[in-house]
């Protein structure tokens, strides 16, 4: 059965740190799929990615739960889809029960490892299908919550490989860019201490931390205590255009997290032909081929992180080789078009009652 009308349920839409949700919706609209977006809360951020307005997603979003029933009555969705297993999935489950519709949800990282709902297994069992972004997630969900393997589908979030593409404009000295919210799980301390080691080794570089968040002051203070003010910049939160601009100028993308799902920032980096140094957590090893598209190092190890960064900083030929390989891998495996193809396939099977199986 052809997928024609999907109602999305989100905790907050739009959200700067959840670009992948807006991109997914925009691609579905390009395919001719009609959408209705039910957001449980109003966004508090002033910054928005351009895709929200360009695709008209803001005009499809409703924030008053009291109006949801009427909107769904007129829209007549074929199914509901939620992002994250927490509040959005709870709401989608309730609406689906009331309207006798199937629902699916995508689980990412914090909603599995940090703040998983106590009834995750029941929500998954009642869902028509559970989508998640890495093989590590699938294995954890199966072992921790008892969700059947055949109930789950691995679909990494995709990136627009036309928008995120290699560009000229590299800077001297070579720039490292780290894209991610300033949150404890991102463990910027590892990256900053690695930068201090590189400076001690007299390796020329600059580093840019793109993002904002609840530990900004701690990261700012640590940068100062390490004496890195002259080599590490912290410009704050960034929209997609700004991210793309920095990736066009950067030689290396870095992510020193303690935990991840499937980090979209590394997919964007790969699509831009920028090699990666990242910690071996979550779906990162599925994304980065160690020694071919970048380096994967143990979490919590500044020395290993500095060593990997140093190998790329001093070797422009290796950077170019890794970057080309990263771009080709992104085109083959992590494009937005490929992601949405897979999601539509899942929904078609759901509507035809052929999933799981």
Q: pLDDT tens digits for 144-167?
A: 999 999 999 999 999 999 999 999
pLDDT of residue 72: 97
pLDDT of residue 46: 86
- Which two structure tokens, joined as six digits, stand for 36? 């209705």
Q: Calculate the CA 354 to chain-centre distance.
A: 29
Instruction: Report how far residue 182's alpha carbon sits from residue 163's, in angstroms, rounded to the nearest whole number.
Output: 25
Nearest of 247, 285, 266, 310 to residue 318 by alpha carbon: 310
Structure-block tokens of residue 64? 């008053």
pLDDT, greater one: 33 or 353:
33
pLDDT in tens, 254-267: 999 999 989 999 99
Stretch 35-62: mean pLDDT: 94
- Interval 156-199: pLDDT, tens: 999 999 999 999 899 999 999 999 999 999 999 999 999 999 99
User: Tens of pLDDT along 77-133?
Assistant: 999 999 999 999 999 999 999 999 999 999 999 999 999 999 999 999 999 999 999
Cα–Cα distances in angstroms (integers) from residue 331 to residues 248, 269, 270, 335, in the given order:
17, 12, 9, 6
- For residue 265, whether the previous peptide bond is cis, meaning omega lies within 30 degrees of 0, is no
Answer whether residue 357 shows pLDDT above 60. no
Q: How far apart are the C-alpha atoms of 258 and 114, rounded to whole Å?
A: 12
Domains, the chain, ranges and CATH?
5-158+335-351 (3.40.50.2000), 175-333 (3.40.50.2000)
Mean pLDDT to the nearest integer, 43-58: 92
pLDDT band per the 50, 70, 90 thresholds, residue 270: very high
Tokens of 338: 């490929």
Assess whether pLDDT exceeds 70 at residue 25. Answer: yes
> Which DSSP helix (H) or strand (E) runs through 243?
helix 240-249
**Residue (of 25, 24, 54, 19) closest to 37 by Cα position:** 25
Q: What is the pLDDT of residues 69-92, one digit of tens each?
A: 999 999 999 999 999 999 999 999
Answer whether 194's CB lies under 8 Å from 313's CB: no
Confidence of residue 355 (pLDDT cuts 50, 70, 90): confident
Per-residue pLDDT tens digits for 280-332:
999 999 999 999 999 999 999 999 999 999 999 999 999 999 999 999 999 99
Three-state SS for 108-126 is CCHHHHHCCCCCHHHHHHH
Among the listed residues 98, 45, 25, 44, the one whose alpha carbon sits nearest the alpha carbon of residue 68? 98
CB-CB contact of 286 with 304 (8 Å): no
Cα(353)–Cα(356) distance, rounded to whole angstroms? 8
Mean pLDDT of 232-236: 97
Alpha-carbon distance of 63 to 45, in angstroms, equals: 15
The CA R_g of the chain, rounded to the nearest whole Å, is 21
DSSP per position, 267-324: HHHHHTT--EEEES-TTHHHH--BTTTEEEE-TT-HHHHHHHHHHHHT-HHHHHHHHH
> Quick check: 91 and 7 in contact, CB under 8 A?
no
Contacts of residue 351, defined as CB under 8 A and 6 or more positions apart, other chains included, come to: 1, 3, 78, 79, 102
- Collapsing DSSP to helix, strand or coil, 175 comes out as strand
pLDDT confidence band for 354 (50 / 70 / 90) = confident
């Amino acid at each position: 059965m052809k997928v024609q009308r999907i109602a999305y349920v989100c905790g907050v839409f739009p959200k700067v740190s959840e670009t992948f949700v807006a991109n997914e919706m925009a691609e579905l609209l390009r395919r001719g799929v009609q959408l209705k977006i039910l957001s449980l809360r109003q966004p508090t951020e002033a910054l928005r990615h351009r895709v929200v307005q360009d695709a008209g997603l803001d005009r499809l979003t409703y924030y008053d739960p009291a109006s949801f029933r009427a909107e769904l009555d007129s829209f007549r969705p074929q199914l509901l889809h939620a992002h994250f297993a927490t509040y959005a999935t709870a709401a989608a489950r309730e609406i689906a029960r009331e309207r006798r519709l199937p629902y699916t949800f995508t689980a990412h990282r914090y909603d599995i490892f940090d703040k998983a709902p106590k009834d995750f297994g029941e929500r998954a069992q009642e869902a028509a299908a559970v989508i998640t972004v890495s093989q590590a997630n699938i294995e954890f969900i199966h072992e921790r919550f008892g969700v059947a393997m055949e109930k789950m589908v691995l679909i990494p979030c995709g990136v627009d490989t036309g928008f995120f593409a290699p560009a000229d404009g590299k800077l001297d000295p070579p720039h490292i860019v780290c894209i991610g919210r300033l949150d404890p799980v991102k463990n910027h301390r590892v990256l900053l201490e690695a930068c201090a080691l590189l400076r001690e080794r007299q390796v020329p570089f600059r580093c840019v931390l793109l993002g904002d968040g609840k530990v900004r002051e701690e990261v700012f203070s640590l940068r100062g205590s390490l004496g890195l003010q002259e080599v590490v910049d912290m410009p704050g939160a960034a929209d997609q255009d700004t991210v793309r601009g920095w990736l066009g100028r950067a030689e290396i993308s870095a992510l020193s997290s303690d935990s991840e799902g499937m980090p979209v920032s590394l997919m964007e980096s790969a699509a831009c032909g920028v090699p990666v140094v990242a910690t071996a957590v979550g779906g990162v090893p599925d994304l980065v081929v160690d020694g071919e598209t970048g380096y994967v190092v143990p979490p919590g190890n500044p020395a290993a992180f500095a060593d990997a960064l140093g190998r790329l900083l001093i070797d422009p030929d290796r950077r170019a080789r890794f970057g080309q390989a990263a771009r080709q891998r992104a085109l083959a495996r992590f494009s937005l078009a490929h992601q949405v193809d897979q999601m539509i396939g899942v929904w078609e099977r759901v509507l035809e009652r052929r999933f799981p199986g």
